[in-house]
Chain A
Amino acid sequence: EIVMTQSPATLSVSPGERATLSCRASQSVSSNLAWYQQKPGQAPRLLIYGASTRATGIPARFSGSGSGTEFTLTISSLQSEDFAVYYCQQYNNWWTFGQGTKVEIK
């Protein structure tokens, strides 16, 4: 099983600031990585796939980078609706998720 490790567990950011979230895979997943956003009481929403491609309708302030074992999700200027939990997920070898990073208002 490929283990996905996200850091930090919680990120405190002020509105308008940049947020940088990290995700590490226990072995290479190439670019087979996705990012999801989950708000309380809601299902996750696909943000990024292929490590860096935004899903349909996702604003340009969300960007993804990385390959192999190290990945980053950047939110360039946090809006109020961006405070949520973010999960990375690999799909190189079936599917496993990271434990999540909560982005909270500072």
Chain B
Amino acid sequence: QVQLQESGPGLVKPSQTLSLTCTVSGGSISSGDYYWSWIRQPPGKGLEWIGYIYYSGSTYYNPSLKSRVTISVDTSKNQFSLKLSSVTAADTAVYYCARATMAPYAFDIWGQGTMVTVSS
């Protein structure tokens, strides 16, 4: 079965760039049937979709974060990655990678999540 696993630094300094990677196992990221997304959840708060990437490299970002977000894919490693620039304390959150199916576009598989704290 397909599994997702986030990895990356748990602590990032203000104004720097947050970088995370999601490794997909048990299936191919190039299957073409899914959108590969990043979603975050600040402590004690709700969920916010950040953006997605298709295996071909096409992306779509949450307009509220678009100016700071880059999502990329490495099909040879079966991974996709998130970069969020100019971070502040408001970017402190658990970051999840997730898979959205095509029609319906629901997130059927999630990683366990990784906590990222923005602090000097």
| Interface size, chain B (Cβ < 8 Å) | 22
CB-nearest residue of chain B to A51: B104
Q: How far is the CB of A31 from chain B (nearest CB, A)?
A: 9
Mostly, the B contact residues are: loop
Residues of chain A with a CB closer than 8 A to B112's CB: 42-43
Does A1 belong to the interface (CB within 8 Å)? Answer: yes
The 0/1 profile, CB within 8 Å of A marked 1, for residues 99-120 of chain B is: 0100011111011110000000
Establish whether residues A44 and B49, one from each chain, have CB atoms under 8 Å apart when the complex forms. Answer: no
CB-nearest residue of chain A to B113: A43
With A43-B96, A43-B111, A43-B113 in contact, do A91 and B106 touch (Cβ < 8 Å)?
A: yes
Interface positions of A from 53 to 106, Cβ below 8 Å from B: 53, 55, 87, 89, 91, 94-100
Does A46 belong to the interface (CB within 8 Å)? Answer: yes
Contact partner, B110, options A1, A44, A95, Cβ 8 Å: A44
